[in-house]
Structure 1
């Protein structure tokens, strides 16, 4: 048996970390001296400690290390490593996105970029006869996959659909995940519902606030802020119902994101 200081020197792991692993349950001392209360470690614990350090250095947290130690076999560990690799790749992507935003902010500061002004107009939206697909998807960017699915299904089943498509968002708040949306394509005639695709008539909206967003989809956030300011100035209106979005120019018909054109539609009612 080795005292904690001896074990620390032999394994090149600090006493502080050994105590931490003891507190978290990852590596308890083999024995506690009943007279001195010294932590005592055995030679057989060195491979376990090496596994802990190996996983810690790969980014595994305490709970993940505990699970791995309790299920240590080649296949399980390989799967855990694959999962951790995907998690790290997502983290790298998120950090790269932050770096890109920093560079954009620096560029805007240098160029003294003028704030984009969004004009809000009011109009009445009639009911549309549509071919639609409603799903709860992982995030707002997953909308593009729904459109690909609808386009493929329409081609396979000879369903003629209009290019004047739009999306209805059913959540009353902004969602980071689990977004409830319905993509709608106007059609000349009603058909039979199948495979989750539905024919229906959308609800008319007597008062719809509309604003055009030019450029990449990141500009949409600024448009909502502008709309909030507009509502603050026009206190006779309040938001009501499901918002809509129309991408007039997007990834499918425009290569340059700076030339995208998106229309936001927010239903209102008079107070």
Structure 2
């Protein structure tokens, strides 16, 4: 048999934790020396220890773990529970990473306030443009919600256009609108096309002419809020009002090096 120290080392837990498990009846030692009180374990008990730790990592209380183990959870059930927890943790990592990016973007916007001025804004008439597009719905207009929905649309759009024999003309464009049910935002990923009125199973639409306050944004789109702030200040100073969501024309797009991106933001406006 193994001493409690050796068993703890093999199981990658502390002696203190083993004593706690013993006190709860979760993992009693195989034998206890009646004179010294030393606890001894067998190698076979490592299996139960692993189950205790795995179930605890699922978020269960130790009391719940004990009741589950006493009813004997088989290996298949335990594997399924762990896979589910793994998926939950992976989803949480993705959400936390997106949230961290959003926080960093907000912080950067605060730190760079005043570096861009309303002189960087140009008011212009944007002519109509025919585009092929795919769309999907995002939960909100927050960058953390928009990015994961918008980004996959472009590879699929270009794949379908290639299959249909339609050649893109001009930079890619994104635009947005409130979902019909008021829940979420419809995200459109498009690219200009010339002449074609159909493109296989891809929708072809004409973006109407707009009067827009425009500015050039440099860098990843999750930092575009600072450029939107500049547009907002210009609109306020010049007695205009926003008339919908901004269009994004990707003048230079670098999927793997977002810092090199160059995007023209076109915010539709009308007189106040």
Q: TM-score range by the shorter chain?
A: 0.5 to 0.7
What is the Cα deviation at residue 85 of structure 1?
A: 1.5
Structure 1 runs not aligned, ≥5 long:
1-8, 15-49
Aligned CA distance change for structure 1 residues 216 and 130 (closer, same or farther; 3 Å):
closer
What SS does the corresponding residue of 1:60 show, helix, strand or coil?
A: coil
CA shift, 1:137, in A, is 4.7
> 1 CA distance for matches of 2:108 and 2:224?
19
- Matched residues, number: 217
Deviation digits for residues 58-102 of structure 1 (CA, Å, limit 9, x no counterpart)? 14267xx79x969x6544442331121133234445656777899
1:181 maps to 2:187: yes
TM-score by length of 1: 0.62
Q: Tell me what 1:78 maps to.
A: 79
- Residues 183 and 89 (structure 1), Cα distance of their counterparts in 2 relative to 1, 3 Å cut: closer
- Structure 1 CA distance, aligned partners of 2:104 and 2:153? 32
Partner residue in 2 for 1:57: 56
Pairwise mapping of residues 15-164 of structure 1 onto structure 2 (< 5 A)? 54=53, 57-60=56-59, 74-92=75-93, 116-117=115-116, 119-137=120-138, 139-141=145-147, 142-164=149-171
Shift of 1:209: 1.1
Please say which of residues 90-99 and 240-249 is displaced more in the overlay: 90-99
C-alpha separation in 2, matches of 1:264 and 1:162: 19
1:20-49, CA deviations, whole angstroms, 9 ceiling, x for partnerless residues? xxxxxxxxxxxxxxxxxxxxxxxxxxxxxx
Secondary structure of the 2:267 match is: strand
The answer as to 2:227 corresponding to 1:223 is: yes
Corresponding residue for 1:30?
A: none
Q: Structure 1 residue 250: deviation in Å? A: 2.0
**Unaligned segments of structure 2, at least 5 residues:** 1-19, 26-48, 140-144
Matched with 1:168 is 175
Change (3 A) 1:73 1:120: farther
Other-structure match for 2:42: none
The two structures have a TM-score, normalised by structure 2, of 0.62
- Between the aligned partners of 2:161 and 2:221, the Cα distance in structure 1 is 26
Equivalent residue of 1:245, what SS?
strand
Q: Does 1:202 align with 2:204?
A: no
